[in-house]
């Protein structure tokens, strides 16, 4: 691409926004070692002009949705450049980078810039065969780079979001650049229909399964600590049924207080806070203790010793450590997923894997295709208040076919896998 052919409006846009990218980079401190501006990108990239795919994720959730795709591409001998936008995805980025390096597929990557650097980065190295992003990644200058340098963008889990339509308007109307080739891969028929209705020239719309199910449903090699906790709880005085509150916030307890009171449906509660320290965590502990519960913290446990029955207080297990949530969920009788009465609903896919009943609050719930699918299958119930939660849990838990229904739910989840192969088919043909 000849720099003289870059529209003046785009050059001005990039120049202004590069100031904010540089300022953000300066404030990252220790994280700045991952940050990629155009100069650092040249040093970090070792593709040497070989064809490669660029995978870019906004944050930890988006990176998770593309993890299986990256590894599957690597298994096909495709070179991968991997970038993330949020430092929250750092740990996942480093883990996936190491896996790609082991497969000989890594050519570079890091913490990506704000707008203002995309053209410079692509100009320093050869353009990718395709840029694969997920859900929310729609940046006008990023799209401009794809258009000017002639590579397509695939959006996995695409929907008609405001970010998508605003990126298109800014690109064409404000910056004067044509829309790049877009491959919009939706997870539901409704989202596919809405994307088709945009009638965007140069875009292709298709329906695929969600690649995250391939990650969540596969056996894990890192379940040791969770299994130790579960075995210890079985051997100690923590009777079933087990209710788990995952990614819990104080707002969840405020809105669903019966989850603490009712021992019929959860003789033992497992509380897994979203944050394992801080004011909200302390408030949850105080709430539990104020209601007469004995809080047993997993970080304090000697798993070689079982707890004896004693005292009159009901015990709950507080999981004040990270990395075990997914594996605990599989042993729950029911799960309440936090965030739906406050900051926004958290992941409902992991709690579903063991076939447990799953409940959650309403905030942000129906922005996610997996919520609609799990509701349709009868495994997930979105509740609006405490009364509805109590009624729904009572009705479902006392169903005489409870065990059969759980087994059917587990077997049915196998149909959810296959999104990774759908993405590969879209990229390379069936």
How many angstroms separate the CA atoms of 153 and 245, rounded? Answer: 38
Beta bridge partners of 131: 54, 153
How many angstroms separate the CA atoms of 113 and 7, rounded? Answer: 21
Provide the pLDDT for residue 32.
46
Provide the pLDDT for residue 285.
92
Half-sphere exposure of 21 (CA within 13 A, CB side): 21
How many angstroms separate the CA atoms of 314 and 259, rounded? Answer: 13
Q: Spell out the residues 6+ positions from residue 273 whose beta carbon is closer than 8 angstroms to its own.
A: 247, 248, 249, 280, 281, 284, 318, 319, 320
How many angstroms separate the CA atoms of 118 and 18, rounded? Answer: 10
Domain boundary assignment for the chain: 6-207, 224-414
Q: Spell out the residues 6+ positions from residue 307 whose beta carbon is closer than 8 angstroms to its own.
A: 236, 237, 296, 315
Letter string b/e over residues 223-233, b meaning 16 or more CB atoms within 10 A of that residue's CB? beebeebbebb
Letter string b/e over residues 208-221, b meaning 16 or more CB atoms within 10 A of that residue's CB? bbbbbbbbbeeeee
- In 52-119 the beta strands, taken as DSSP E runs, fall at 53-57, 80-84, 106-111
Provide the pLDDT for residue 336.
94
Look at the block and give the residue holding tokens 């229909």.
Answer: 193
How many angstroms separate the CA atoms of 401 and 407, rounded? Answer: 10
Provide the pLDDT for residue 59.
84
Q: Quick check: 174 and 9 in contact, CB under 8 A?
A: yes
Instruction: Give the tens place of pLDDT for each residue, 102-136.
Output: 999 999 888 876 677 777 778 777 889 999 999 87
Q: Quick check: 246 and 336 in contact, CB under 8 A?
A: yes
Residues, the chain: 430
Provide the pLDDT for residue 419.
94
Entry pTM: 0.83
Angle at 164 between CA 161 and CA 165, to 5 degrees: 90
* DSSP collapsed to 3 states, 235-291: HCCCCCCEEEEEEECHHHHHHCCHHHHCCCCCCEEEEEECCCCCHHHHHHHHHHHHC
Q: Quick check: 286 and 258 in contact, CB under 8 A?
A: no
Residue segments in the chain with a per-residue pLDDT below the cut of 70: 1-4, 21-38, 113-114, 219-222, 264, 309-312, 430
Q: What is the CATH number of domain 224-414?
A: 3.40.50.2000
How many angstroms separate the CA atoms of 156 and 134, rounded? Answer: 5
Provide the pLDDT for residue 314.
81
How many angstroms separate the CA atoms of 321 and 255, rounded? Answer: 25
How many angstroms separate the CA atoms of 6 and 28, rounded? Answer: 30
How many angstroms separate the CA atoms of 364 and 362, rounded? Answer: 6
Angle at 327 between CA 404 and CA 293, to 5 degrees: 90
Express as a percent the part of the chain with pLDDT over 70: 92
Q: What is the CATH number of domain 6-207?
A: 3.40.50.11720
Peptide bond into 20 cis (omega under 30): no
> Same topology for domains 6-207 and 224-414, yes or no?
yes
The CA distances from residue 120 to 86, 115, 128, in Å, are: 20, 10, 14
Q: Quick check: 97 and 18 in contact, CB under 8 A?
A: no
The CA distances from residue 180 to 151, 208, 368, in Å, are: 7, 21, 26
């Amino acid at each position: 691409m000849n720099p003289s052919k870059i529209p003046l409006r785009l050059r001005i846009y990039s120049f202004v926004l590069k100031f904010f990218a540089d300022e953000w980079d300066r404030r990252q401190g220790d994280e700045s070692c991952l940050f990629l501006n155009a100069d650092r990108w040249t040093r970090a990239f070792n593709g040497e002009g070989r064809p490669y795919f660029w995978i870019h994720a906004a944050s930890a959730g988006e990176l998770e949705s593309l993890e299986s795709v990256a590894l599957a591409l690597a298994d096909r001998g495709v070179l991968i450049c991997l970038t993330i936008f949020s430092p929250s995805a750092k740990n996942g980025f480093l883990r996936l980078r190491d896996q790609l390096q082991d497969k000989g597929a890594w050519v570079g990557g890091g913490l990506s810039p704000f707008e203002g650097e995309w053209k410079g980065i692509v100009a320093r190295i050869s353009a990718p065969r395709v840029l694969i992003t997920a859900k929310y990644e729609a940046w006008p200058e990023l799209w401009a780079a794809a258009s000017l340098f002639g590579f397509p963008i695939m959006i996995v889990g695409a929907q008609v979001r405001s970010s998508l339509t605003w990126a298109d308007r800014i690109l064409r109307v404000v910056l004067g650049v044509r829309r790049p080739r877009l491959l919009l891969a939706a997870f539901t028929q409704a989202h596919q229909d809405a994307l088709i209705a945009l009638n965007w020239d140069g875009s292709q719309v298709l329906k695929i399964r969600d690649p995250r199910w391939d990650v969540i449903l596969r056996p894990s090699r890192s379940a040791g600590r969770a299994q130790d906790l579960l075995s210890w709880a079985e051997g100690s005085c923590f009777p079933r049924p087990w209710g788990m509150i995952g990614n819990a916030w104080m707002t969840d307890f405020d809105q669903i207080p019966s989850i603490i009171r009712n021992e019929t449906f959860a003789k033992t509660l497992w509380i897994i806070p979203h944050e394992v320290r801080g004011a909200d965590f302390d408030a949850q502990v105080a709430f539990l203790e104020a209601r007469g519960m004995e809080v047993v913290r997993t970080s304090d446990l000697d798993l070689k010793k079982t707890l004896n029955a004693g005292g009159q207080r009901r015990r709950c297990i507080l999981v004040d450590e990270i990395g075990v949530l997914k594996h605990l969920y599989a042993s729950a009788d029911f799960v309440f997923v936090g965030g739906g009465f406050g900051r926004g609903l958290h992941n409902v896919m992991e709690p579903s894997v063991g076939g447990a009943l799953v409940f959650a609050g309403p905030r942000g719930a129906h922005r996610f295709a997996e919520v609609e699918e799990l509701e349709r299958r009868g495994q997930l119930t979105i509740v609006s208040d405490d009364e509805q939660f109590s009624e729904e849990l009572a009705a479902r838990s006392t169903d005489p076919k409870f065990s059969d229904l759980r087994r059917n739910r587990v077997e049915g989840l196998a149909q959810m896998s296959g999104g990774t192969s759908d993405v590969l088919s879209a990229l390379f043909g069936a």
